[in-house]
């Protein structure tokens, strides 16, 4: 095996940015990936001429101009704006929670009328400082929205009662007293025309890459032949779970090709009642405004518990896990051979824009300061 300055474990967004920047300044890099393709969870695959988001809907959004300009170097983005629909039993609502949602729920037309209803529901179940997701949700939007649009979805997604979940999860969702169905508040938003995989392909051009290659199966040889490792897999697995396993949430994706032009009229439809076993159905062609092709592809997303060996899609950032992660982080700080990055390496619920910011921070610290 050749000698490398950096071994990069994982070809997701974090690992690929690091490899791209390191290669640019002349560092020899090897990227290894245990899946049979590059890209990590942003991977898209062209099937029936539709770019399928193989690991769930990915919508890029950021308010950081530098981040937006950075990602636009690797692909051109379209004007997609995420406006999911929520189905609760046989009722249809707009997300995020906004005047369209309030009008459908209560028949109110003005922000004042909506505020009055929400405030009275908040008052009824008053809690001073919300300690869990249920209290946080009710104190933001009141009981009706919590019961119809949050409670069932969240319990399915996380496999726990809302009273046992940290409040921060729900703070991601905007609440607006305007008729605006945009799921994000960010200045920039879109989907790369032609899918996400090209971004990673462009980053890894001219870099040695091995897929179907698991770090743990080749550890000794790899360690010997690199100066340093950037590890974007699970930090607890790297240290052989020596303090115990962190908790994750997994998912199952079920793709279906249909002989239909248009199945659900929207890219993302959430199913918010507990009885429906999936959380959402994605119809991929709507991410790129395709109304012409004769077929469509949908994906049902089922939440799933995680056990060692399953795909760890979400870290569960409650107090217990965060404390355990801090122990692994401390261990890594005493280790000069390896740095950790990304959703699994840093054990944080990062969106893509934050992954870019974190990867560039890591690049500055690791590569620029040693130049
Ligand atoms: P990953 O993409 O997980 O990459 C890590 C890579 O390391 C993987 O390819 C893995 O196979 C590889 N690996 C792990 N261990 C080993 C090993 N031992 N040997 C070799 N390779 C290994 N973000 C948004 O901004 N907008 C969205 O709409 C959005 N939607 C999402 C929907 C879902 C269902 C999920 C799960 C995430 C979503 N995200 C979204 C988040 C986004 O996917 C992440 O921010 C991003 O993909 C993280 O990149 P990463 O490189 O840190 O990790
Ligand atoms: N959520 C909800 N109802 C919905 C959509 C989201 O209650 O229809 C809650 C749920 O707890 C979820 C959180 O909001 O985990 C964050 O949702 P988001 O869509 O940002 O999650 P992701 O895309 O990361 O799965």
Q: Determine which one of 35, 134, 280, 358 is catalytic.
A: 280
Q: At what angle do helices 151-158 and 133-145 cross, to 10 degrees?
A: 140
Residue 131: the pLDDT is: 87
Ligand 2 contact, 146 CB (< 6 A): no
pLDDT per residue, tens digit, the chain (371 aa), is: 779 999 999 999 999 999 999 999 999 999 999 999 999 999 999 999 999 999 999 999 999 999 999 999 999 999 999 999 999 999 999 999 999 999 999 999 999 999 999 999 988 887 778 889 999 999 999 999 999 999 999 999 999 999 999 888 888 788 999 999 999 999 999 999 999 999 999 999 999 999 999 999 999 999 999 999 999 999 999 999 999 999 999 999 999 999 999 999 999 999 999 999 999 999 999 999 987 899 999 999 999 999 999 999 999 998 999 999 999 999 999 999 999 999 999 999 999 999 999 999 999 999 977 65
Does an H or E element contain 67, and which? Answer: helix 65-71
Catalytic, 172? Answer yes
Ligand 1 contact, 58 CB (< 6 A): yes
Q: How far is the CA of 308 from the centre of ligand 2 (A)?
A: 24
Q: Is 354 exposed, middle or buried (0-12, 13-18, 19+ CB in 10 A)?
A: middle
Determine contact, residues 43/253, Cβ cutoff 8 Å.
no
Which residue has tokens 């309030």? 102
Architecture of domain 4-43+60-76+190-245+315-368: 3-Layer(aba) Sandwich (3.40)
Residue 168: the pLDDT is: 85
> pTM score, two decimals?
0.96
Ligand 2 contact, 172 CB (< 6 A): yes
Q: How far is the CA of 343 from the centre of ligand 1 (A)?
A: 6
Q: Which numbered atom of ligand 1 lies nearest the CA of 353?
A: 25
Give the list of residues 6+ apart from residue 360 with CB closer than 8 angstroms, or none. 17, 21, 70
Q: Do you find a cis peptide bond into 190, omega within 30 degrees of 0?
A: no
Determine contact, residues 132/164, Cβ cutoff 8 Å.
yes
d(CA 301, CA 55): 9
d(CA 128, CA 132): 12
Q: How far is the CA of 219 from the centre of ligand 2 (A)?
A: 37
Q: Determine which one of 116, 172, 256, 333 is catalytic.
A: 172
User: What residue owns the CA closest to ligand 1's atom 9?
Assistant: 40
Q: Which sequence spans correspond to the domains of the chain? A: 4-43+60-76+190-245+315-368, 96-169
Ligand 1 contact, 33 CB (< 6 A): yes
Ligand 2 contact, 154 CB (< 6 A): yes
Determine contact, residues 95/84, Cβ cutoff 8 Å.
yes
d(CA 361, CA 371): 15
User: What residue owns the CA closest to ligand 1's atom 34?
Assistant: 56
Residue 121: the pLDDT is: 93
Total residues found in the chain within this entry: 371
Q: Which numbered atom of ligand 2 lies nearest the CA of 314?
A: 24
Residue 370: the pLDDT is: 60
**Tokens linked to 348:** 């944080």
Catalytic, 176? Answer yes
Ligand 1 contact, 11 CB (< 6 A): yes
Catalytic, 35? Answer no
Question: Probe ligand 2: pick from 172, 301, 302, max atoms within 8 Å of CB?
Answer: 172
d(CA 161, CA 163): 5
Ligand 2 contact, 270 CB (< 6 A): yes
Best CA proximity match to 98, nearest among 180, 153, 183, 170: 180
């Amino acid at each position: 095996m050749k000698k490398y300055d950096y071994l990069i474990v994982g070809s997701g967004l974090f690992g690929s940015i690091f490899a791209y920047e390191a290669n640019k300044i002349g560092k020899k890099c090897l990227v290894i990936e245990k899946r049979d393709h590059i890209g990590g969870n942003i991977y898209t695959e062209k099937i029936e001429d539709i770019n399928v988001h193989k690991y769930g809907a990915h919508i890029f959004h950021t308010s950081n101009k530098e981040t937006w300009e950075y990602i636009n170097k690797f692909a051109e983005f379209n004007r997609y704006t995420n406006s999911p629909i929520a189905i609760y039993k046989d009722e249809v609502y707009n997300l995020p929670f906004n005047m369209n949602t309030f009008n459908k729920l209560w028949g109110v037309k003005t922000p004042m009328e909506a505020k009055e209803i929400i405030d009275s529901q908040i008052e009824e179940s008053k809690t001073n400082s919300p300690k869990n997701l249920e209290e946080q949700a009710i104190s933001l939007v009141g009981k009706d929205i919590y019961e119809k649009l949050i409670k069932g979805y969240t319990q399915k997604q996380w496999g726990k009662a809302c009273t046992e979940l940290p409040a921060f999860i729900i703070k991601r969702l905007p609440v607006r007293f305007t008729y605006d169905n945009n799921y994000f508040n960010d200045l920039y938003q879109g989907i790369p025309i032609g899918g996400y995989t090209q971004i990673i392909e462009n980053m890894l051009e001219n870099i040695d890459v091995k897929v179907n290659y698991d770090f743990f199966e080749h550890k000794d040889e790899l360690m010997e032949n690199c100066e340093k490792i950037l590890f974007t897999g699970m930090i607890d697995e790297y240290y052989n779970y020596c303090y115990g396993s962190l908790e994750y949430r997994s998912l199952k994706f079920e793709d279906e090709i249909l002989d239909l032009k248009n199945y659900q009229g929207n890219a993302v439809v959430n199913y918010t009642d507990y009885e429906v076993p999936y959380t959402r159905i994605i119809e991929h062609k709507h991410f790129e405004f395709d109304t012409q092709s004769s077929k469509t592809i949908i994906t049902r997303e089922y939440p799933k518990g995680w056990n060692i060996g399953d795909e760890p899609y979400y870290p569960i950032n409650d107090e217990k896990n965060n404390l355990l992660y801090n122990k692994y982080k401390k261990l890594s700080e005493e280790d000069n051979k390896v740095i950790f990055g990304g959703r699994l390496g840093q054990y944080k619920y990062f969106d893509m824009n934050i992954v870019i910011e974190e990867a560039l921070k890591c690049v500055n610290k690791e590569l620029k300061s040693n130049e």
